[in-house]
């Protein structure tokens, strides 16, 4: 009987040592990734930063704020449905995408429009599919999406005109069953005056 207790005792010691070793190795590992992380040198590319400076000059900071690299799913979501897998599929399409810029009302932070800065990467087929998805999502959500071609430098008046033209055309592109914020020229003018 002592032989059985010796074997049981040896097995228990082995289990305890194995358990302690696994705890020690888990605590020595970095959480989430053995590779680690580092801070990027800049938040925006040079082109994005340049355009942000121009955008900041185009808006009235008392009325609007510009946010950069906003995740699409933070301002747009799939319509509610009882079919959870359908909702998850729709959410999956937008959860890892972002807008270059979003202009929001300063007082409520309600999104007014999204802006995409189109550099040469937008000529790639995969990027064009992404652009089509964003346009479709924004159309469904009644969120104006303004596309601006990337340049080395920007003239303030040109950017104002592009954004105003894009905002105006997006305004007239709203679906009939949505809230009609642009039903007359007076309303359109007041929206554009509010925008700048």
- The per-residue pLDDT string of the chain (196 residues; one tens digit each, 9 = 90 and over) reads 677 877 777 777 888 777 777 776 665 555 556 789 899 999 998 888 989 999 999 888 998 899 999 999 999 999 999 999 999 999 999 999 999 999 888 899 988 889 999 877 767 787 889 999 999 999 999 898 998 888 888 889 988 887 776 556 445 444 433 433 433 222 222 333 434 4
Distances (CA, A) of 176 to 6, 8, 135, 142, 146: 82, 77, 17, 10, 20
Question: What pLDDT is recorded for position 98?
Answer: 95
Question: What pLDDT is recorded for position 78?
Answer: 96
Distances (CA, A) of 1 to 94, 99, 110, 141, 184: 66, 73, 77, 76, 97
Question: What pLDDT is recorded for position 127?
Answer: 81
Tally the C-alpha atoms within 13 A of residue 186's C-alpha that lie toward its C-beta. 0
The burial of 174, by beta-carbon neighbours within 10 Å (0-12 exposed, 13-18 middle, 19 or more buried), is given as: middle
Residue 21: count other Cβ atoms within 10 Å of its Cβ. Answer: 10
Compute the distance between CA of residue 50 and CA of residue 119 in angstroms, rounded to an integer. 13
Compute the distance between CA of residue 196 and CA of residue 194 in angstroms, rounded to an integer. 5
β-bridge mates for residue 114, sequence order: 102, 145
Question: What pLDDT is recorded for position 191?
Answer: 35
CB 164 within 8 A of CB 189: no
Domain ranges of the chain: 46-175+182-195
Q: What is the pTM of this model?
A: 0.68
């Amino acid at each position: 009987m002592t032989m059985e207790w010796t074997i049981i005792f040896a097995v228990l010691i082995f289990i305890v040592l194995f358990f302690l070793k696994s705890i020690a190795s888990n605590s020595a590992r970095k959480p989430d990734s053995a590779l680690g992380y580092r801070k990027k040198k800049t938040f925006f590319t040079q082109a994005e930063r340049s355009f942000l400076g121009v955008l900041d000059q185009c808006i009235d900071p008392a009325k609007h704020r510009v946010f950069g690299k906003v995740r699409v799913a933070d301002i747009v979501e799939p319509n509610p449905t009882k079919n959870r897998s359908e909702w998850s599929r729709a959410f999956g399409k937008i959860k890892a995408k972002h807008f270059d810029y979003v202009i929001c009302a300063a007082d409520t932070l309600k999104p007014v429009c999204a802006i995409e800065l189109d550099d040469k990467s937008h000529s790639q087929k995969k990027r064009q599919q992404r652009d089509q998805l964003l346009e479709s999502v924004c159309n469904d959500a009644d969120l104006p999406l303004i596309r601006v071609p990337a340049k080395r430098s920007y003239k303030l008046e040109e950017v104002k005109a592009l954004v105003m033209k894009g905002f105006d055309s997006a305004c007239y592109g709203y679906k009939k069953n949505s809230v009609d914020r642009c039903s007359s020229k007076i309303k359109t003018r007041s929206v554009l005056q509010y925008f700048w």
